[in-house]
Structure 1
Amino acid sequence: MNRRAERLAPVVDMALKAEREAARQLGQAQNQLLQVQRKMAELERFRGDYQQQWIERGQHGVSGQWLMNYQRFLSQLETAVEQQGRSLTWHQDVVDKARASWQEKYARLEGLRKLVERYRQEAQLLADKQEQKQLDEFAQRLKPSAY
């Protein structure tokens, strides 16, 4: 490895650690979002079941007390769904930001890797040219003189 590439090794290591940490944070944010999505689905399913109960009970007649309890609970359920919706939006935003951060760190890491590879290729090309020059000089010395 040439000196320029060697000097970049600690920078590449730091970029790799940053990219891995960003990937870990993205995974964690995605898991939290998935949990919030599941809870939202449960609330919506429960609301649908509860509304179906209203339809079934309503066909047979309900008391005023039952109707008031139903409306109060449905209102609380709607509040919970709205809160969960806000939580879902917030968690989606966190995932989006974490993804952008990871993409930025990944792009930096890949850029550094390409730079190191270019430095290696340049060093190899220079070494190949120097070797060819030495071989040419050696071949010139081995030629018999034309006198």
Structure 2
Amino acid sequence: MSSRLPLDTLIDLAKEHADTAARALGRLNQERQHAEKQLDLLRDYRNDYLTRLQQTMLSGMTASDCHNYQRFITTLDDAIGQQVTALDALNVNLEKSRLHWQQQQRKLNAFDTLAQREAHAARIVAERREQRANDEHSARVAARRHSFY
């Protein structure tokens, strides 16, 4: 029984580490989805603003209004660039987190496999012990019968 205790402890720790890695992966995945939505919103806003600029240019606009539109579009382009950079960084972190989670899962599976092998070996030993006891009992019964005759 004492040989199982360390393995059980290792399995429990591996489960905790795998669960922690899974939660971190989930959190990063949510952050990535949020960043992707923000990027989509920025791009949509930029497209809407460009459409508005084109419509305003057709109806006529002052040079200062045109300059203000261009400056704002440049600001949106900068924000889009920053969001793309943030999304790229999240993608890198997400991949690292996925690899870490997979590593933790492999450890857990390895410990589970060891536990299954140990349980199987213990069952074989118990079955052999039981078979030996049955054989000895049968031999004693046969010996008693033989001694009565």
Query: TM-score, normalised on structure 2?
Result: 0.92
Verify: 1:85 aligned to 2:84, yes or no. yes
Consecutive unaligned residues of structure 2, counting only runs of 5 or more, are none
| Contact 1:25-1:98 at 8 Å conserved across structures | yes
| Contact 1:4-1:119 at 8 Å conserved across structures | no
Q: Percent identity?
A: 26
Structure 2 equivalent of residue 145 of structure 1: 146
User: Match of 2:14, SS?
Assistant: helix
The count of corresponding residues between Structure 1 and Structure 2 is 146
Compute the displacement of 1:105 (Å): 0.3
1:37-116 matches, within 5 Å, as: 37-116=36-115
Q: CA RMSD in A?
A: 1.4
Runs of 4+ deviating beyond 3 Å: none
User: Match of 2:140, SS?
Assistant: helix
Higher relative contact order (CA 8 A, sep 6+): 1
User: Match of 2:120, SS?
Assistant: helix
Amino acid at match of 2:102: Q
Compute the displacement of 1:99 (Å): 0.9
Amino acid at match of 2:79: A
Amino acid at match of 2:14: A
| Contact 1:5-1:120 at 8 Å conserved across structures | no
Amino acid at match of 1:74: I
Amino acid at match of 2:98: R
Verify: 1:22 aligned to 2:16, yes or no. no
Cα distance in 1 for residues equivalent to 2:2 and 2:128: 18
Consecutive unaligned residues of structure 1, counting only runs of 5 or more, are none
Structure 2 equivalent of residue 134 of structure 1: 133
Structure 2 equivalent of residue 36 of structure 1: 35
Structure 2 equivalent of residue 13 of structure 1: 12
User: Match of 1:59, SS?
Assistant: helix
Cα distance in 1 for residues equivalent to 2:70 and 2:122: 77
